[in-house]
Amino acid sequence: MNQPRRLRAPRPHGRAAGVVLAGGSGTRVGAGINKAFLPLAGRSIAGWGLNTLASVEGVGILVFVVRPDDLEHARFVDSRETDGPLEIITGGETRQESELAALRHLADRIDSGAIDTVLIHDAARPLVSHGLASAVLHAARETGGAVPGIPAADIVTAGTGDGLAVGSAQHRGALVRVQTPQGFHAATILDAYEAAARDGFVGTDTASCAEEYTDIPVAWVRGEETNFKITYAQDLLLAQDVVSALGLRSG
């Protein structure tokens, strides 16, 4: 991964923070390193999503949450693969602990009003589009919370796995395959995570914690089939095919 150092542009002013979680491993992919740092068409899997969130108008801060063992990889991504600076922090043992670590990292700026909205995204979903991330941010600011998802006839029980009962009138009773980024009013979701930590509540994703500890309405945003999660080796091969088919560029 010998790449020239990228020119650093100042991050555009914005009151939203993007949080990218890279706490997984490469076990099911068959890799010896965290899958977020495996190469995908010229940059790491994590680098794709980081750059997409960074390009969204209104996102002024980007936080990259990694395992302590992956700090060197994260610094490489920061210096060689992203156009603007990252705030790199270490997460916890679980997804929820990592999300809480990111929110606490941002807490002073949330309390001051410098950050009004947070987008939380899985590094293992590299092909999220600029349009989807922008739509989630816009919906979160309009309603207080927003979650992307795709209707899924193969999910039969609400509240398990990646299933989410959709609350809007036209989709009530339907289920969707939930994706990220998930966006929320920053102060509200910070309070929700602190309450969850006190209670020992562990949710499956950001939306489940918001549902348990807030009364904000959560908007459903139409997700994208290409915004899939890299879990197995075949998923990485599929992502490479998508990059080629769509003519996506890494730089």
- What pLDDT is recorded for position 154? 55
Long-range contacts formed by 75-81: CB under 8 A, 24+ apart: 76/1, 77/37, 77/44, 77/46, 77/47, 77/50, 79/5, 79/6, 80/1, 80/3, 80/4, 80/5, 80/6, 81/3, 81/6, 81/43, 81/44, 81/47, 81/50, 81/51
Cβ atoms of residues 103 and 29 within 8 Å: no
Of residues 79 and 161, the one with the higher pLDDT is 79
Tokens of 74: 């994260």
Q: Burial level of 114, CB count in 10 A (0-12/13-18/19+)?
A: middle
C-alpha span between 114 and 198 (Å, rounded): 26
Average pLDDT of the chain to the nearest whole number: 87
Would you give the distance in Å from CA 115 to the centre of its chain?
A: 17
- Using CA atoms, how far residue 65 sits from 87, 154, 175, 213, in Å, is 8, 32, 29, 23
- What pLDDT is recorded for position 12? 52
Nearest-5° Cα angle at 35, 34 to 40: 135
- What pLDDT is recorded for position 166? 44
φ and ψ at 62, to 5 degrees?
-130, 120
Chain segment 167-197, per-residue pLDDT in tens: 443 444 567 899 999 999 999 999 999 999 9
pTM for this structure? 0.86
Chain segment 2-29, per-residue pLDDT in tens: 455 555 555 556 899 999 999 865 555 5
3-state secondary structure of 185: strand
Considering only CA atoms, which of 205, 221, 113, 105 is closest in space to residue 159?
Answer: 205
Between β-strands 117-122 and 16-22, what pairing exists: parallel, antiparallel or unpaired? parallel
Report which residue type is found at 148.
P
Q: Per-residue pLDDT averaged across 136-162, rounded?
A: 77
Cβ atoms of residues 122 and 145 within 8 Å: no
Bond from prior residue into 148 cis (ω within 30 degrees of 0): no
CA terminus-to-terminus distance, the chain: 14
Please tell me the least confidently modeled range out of 71-80, 107-116, 152-161: 152-161
